[in-house]
Each structure stands twice: as C-alpha cells, then as structure tokens.
Structure 1
C-alpha cells in the first residue's frame, strides 16, 4: 500500500489551462518510498504526450505544454500504480494573453444617414440608418425630442447597422440625439423639420351657383 502520496496541482475539470504555455504540478511522495513516477497526457485528438519529470525534495515536479484546445486527461502513476484521483481532467483554452484586443470605441466613425434625419411628414414614418461597423465596440444611444412624443422603432440588422423609424404626429422641429459609447456621434444632434400632411384643407370650401345646384339650368340663347 502506498502512503503519503498526493499531488499539489491545478488539474481538475473546472480549471482551464492556456494552450502553448507550460503548466506544472507537484507530486508529493514523502513516506511513499522510492519508486519511479510516470505522467501521460491524453489530448482531444487521441495523442499521448509525456510530461517532463524532475525530482524535488518532497517528490517530483511534472511539466507539460498543451498544444490543442479541449479536454485533456492526465494519468499519474507511482511504482506502476495510479495515484489517488488519477486520471485528472483539465481543459486547454486559447491563451488569453494572445487574444486580439477589441478595437477601441470611436464615435467619430459612426455613420447616420437617411431622409428621417432631415425631415418628413406627419402621420408618416420617418426613416434613417445608423452604421457602427467601423466604430469598434460600444453601446448605441438614441433619443428623440419634439413638439410631441413620437413612437420610435429600432431594428438591429445583425451586421453592425441599425434601421430606425419614428412616427411624428405633430409638425415642427424634432431633435435626434445619437450617441456611441456615451459620446455624441458626428453631426449629432440632428434637426429634422416635420411638416403637416394637411397643408391644404378643403373642408371649408363651398361651391354654389348656376350649373351645379339642382333646378338651376343655363338657358341657351
């Protein structure tokens, strides 16, 4: 029976290790006697790699470098017998230090265009588009101020653009504020002039006289 043999390591199923970076753990064999240690690592592709083993005061130090992403199993044996807890499980992930940094938010590169930014007609939707594809990562903000509160609809197109539609019901000037990463984009706020769709009111016009009223006929000479 082997006594006093245990590991100090980060090898467990809930711990992630970086691909391409050396990881190490200690195998403490105090009180277990003298024998050889073997460490085999099984990769997601089915390959087996071996750890480098170095003797220490308390036992051994094992080192290996994962080269594949995904779950790995680590078999540790002493004197030909698996140690307690073996095989150990861990998951290799891409090295976070080598991840490409996200581009910094740049509100000046947000584009907004469309007729709704300049004007429109009451009781008809005014439309425009916001394009954030070249602006990096950031939150988009939109507010609309006018003579009366207008309904706004925003549709994320899934490609870095957003289609906006608002419904003015009163004529006047509407102010459209667009922000990105909490800062105004270029040309914001926009001023849209909304005119009435009822520029001509025919309800008060009356017609009367010969030719249009019943009983009135023009006499031929």
Structure 2
C-alpha cells in the first residue's frame, strides 16, 4: 500500500527497498506488509503525518533488527586512547542516530560514516570505571542498547620492537590495493592496531589480523601524490611511523 504525501521532507531511507519519504511536493511512503493487515482501505493522504512515517520507520527497525552493534570496544575500553565500535545502519539515515554515555566522566565521542554503510563510534575518556553506552535511533534504543562497558586505566606498550615490512611502505599504486605487514609478536603487543592515512585524497584503509600474530594493512588511494601512513598501538607510533610514501599510476 502506497500513500502519497505533500510537502514532507524526512531524512529516513528504507530497509530492503521500502521507502518512507523523499523531498518534494509529492513525497511518498511505502508501508510494509506488517502494517497493511491493520488497514481496511486506502488512507486519507491529507491525514498522513511526519510522525506516522517515523512510527513506521521505527517498527521496521525493530521488526527487521536493522541495527547490529559490533563489539570492538563495546565491552572493554582503555583510558586516554581512542576506543571504537561499529554500528550497522542498514541503510537508515544517520541524522537520527545518537550515542551517549553514562558513567564517572563524559567521554569525547565522534561518529564517522563509512562507505560500507556502517558508522564508527570512537570515544575517549580519562577516567576509568563502568560506563553505560546508549545508542538510539529517533529517540528509541537500537538492538543491543544500552550496553555496559568497563574502561580500564591506560596500558603502557613498548612499540620499539614492532616490525613493519612491505612494498606499500614506500610506494603505492593509484586505485589499486597496496599492502603492508605489521609484526608485533616480539613486542608482545596484543592491543588493537590503529591505522590511518593522510594525503592528497582519502584512501580506503583497513587491516586484518592473521593467524600467525601479524596484521596486514591494506590501502587503496584514489589520486596520485604524497601520503603518510600512521601505524600505532595504544596511541604509541611504531618505529618509522608516520611512513611517507608516494602513490603513482
């Protein structure tokens, strides 16, 4: 069942092809099947309100479990360093997403949208203790929220024995995947690797942990030029970081 709305502009995108509304003089919303059984006839479009569209959106979120929280730093965090967990938006508009903390201090919080549709939530606090993380969409908790996390005192790591190898340290290929290997075994570091790049464009950067204890960093730049690759553990740079490299065609 489709009802047509006039002059409604709500920033919510649908899940699985369902559309709620789009800007314009004849915006429309597609009501999911779970709503249709309760409606006996075509609705009076003049009575359909923005609140109704939001209500439908919230029911789809709950019914399809649109949100999934991936626990990197969701259950355990460390003081003075960035802690990050992911939120899977499943196509929903991030403008309605809110993240808040309850605990012994107010952490710094930053939300970053990724190309794969997820949102990285990075928080940093200087006070250890138990915190409650609230993740809401349109003022309602998503699945997995609220969640309790234990933030511990800063861990001191010695990165001087971390080894970094690979052709991607000095030169990268434009619009291609370039790799670098990070080996922290001799340094006996088990904390999460921090990776980011800066340069003439914003490359796609990721890493994976290997079974042998090393990590493989992959980056894909989109313009030629000079870049810097930052590799850290617990905010401590590994030897040689940041690495200056040139990207060529």
TM-score by length of 1: 0.41
Q: Which has the larger radius of gyration?
A: 1
